Amino acid sequence: MSALGFWSVARRPKWIAVLVLVLVVAGIFAWLGRWQLERAVDDSRVVGPDTELAVPLGDLATPQHPIDSSMAWRRVEVDVAYVPGDTVLLSDRLNAGPERGWTVVAHAVTDTGASLAVALGWSADAAVAEAAQAALDDGVMNAALTTVTGRFMPSEGPQQSNFPDGQRSALSVGELINVWSTPPDGGVYGGYLALDAPPAWAAGLEAIDAPMPAREIEVNLLNIFYGIEWVIFSGVAVFLWWRLVRDEQLREQLRVQLREQDAAKSDT
């Protein structure tokens, strides 16, 4: 009896054509699975507030109150007047790179009278930072109210500073209050504002690196399950082709067997 192999059946033009068809169908299924996974991500909902929409600072935080996670790292806008003579240079600061430099922090008073620390910008060059400090302290803003936008950041801890040497490197609001010559009579915001861009009169400064916080998202689990389902279906499509070829092979083997049996019978 001649054994009829699986591949000798599978190699027939008919079954190759079926295989091509099956692979096309499996490809479509796989594409549908990919589409479902894309939808799972696209339909995902951001948990928590939209941190990128600038909101009035007064609506978000209250002076003399602690900052919680729903306020920190959100973009805000606020009308402020800078206080000359209270601008502080923080040394040894990193800003989106390996280089250490100076951060210029101004004392600003909002339109409601509360004090707010504003990080104007950063420079690797001490002269640039000092020029910005001098310009502000010389009254370049003339105590006029100006609208600023930036990211509201939580105050840093004071530990990084080396007070005895007159070096300050932590952007700690509590520490700054002690440095400011104008007392913050209207209360102080517990965080500081990192400006989106340095003011025009301090153009030599670079913007403070305050990126959008990592967002927590909820993916749509239903779409993920559908995605997995389509992958399984494309596997099933290929399996069905194998099953159909195997059936034909078995059927032919059976036919050959019967013919041989009949031949054996007529011989006797």
- Which residues are near other proteins by CB under 8 A? 43, 45, 222, 226, 229, 240, 244, 247, 250-251, 254, 258
CB 95 within 8 A of CB 103: yes
**Residue keyed to tokens 């096309």:** 24
Question: Cα separation of 263 and 267, whole Å?
Answer: 6
Least distance between other proteins and beta carbon 15 (Å): 13
- Chain Cα centroid distance, residue 108: 31
Structure token pair of residue 65:
């109150």
Least distance between other proteins and beta carbon 176 (Å): 39
Nearer to other proteins, 82 or 226 (CB): 226
Question: Cα separation of 47 and 69, whole Å?
Answer: 12
Nearer to other proteins, 28 or 240 (CB): 240
Nearer to other proteins, 102 or 226 (CB): 226
Query: Which one-letter DSSP state was computed for residue 44?
Result: -
- The closest of 204, 169, 179 to 91, measured between CA atoms, is 169
Nearer to other proteins, 125 or 262 (CB): 262
SS3 (DSSP) at 91 = strand
Q: What backbone phi and psi angles, to 5 degrees, belong to 19?
A: -60, -45
Least distance between other proteins and beta carbon 251 (Å): 5
Nearer to other proteins, 134 or 217 (CB): 217
Distances (CA, A) of 263 to 257, 260, 266: 10, 5, 5
Query: Which one-letter DSSP state was computed for residue 159?
Result: G
Least distance between other proteins and beta carbon 260 (Å): 13
Nearer to other proteins, 126 or 250 (CB): 250
Nearer to other proteins, 87 or 249 (CB): 249
Least distance between other proteins and beta carbon 33 (Å): 14
Least distance between other proteins and beta carbon 196 (Å): 24
Least distance between other proteins and beta carbon 141 (Å): 39
- The closest of 185, 115, 116 to 153, measured between CA atoms, is 116
> Which contiguous run of DSSP H or E holds residue 103?
strand 100-110
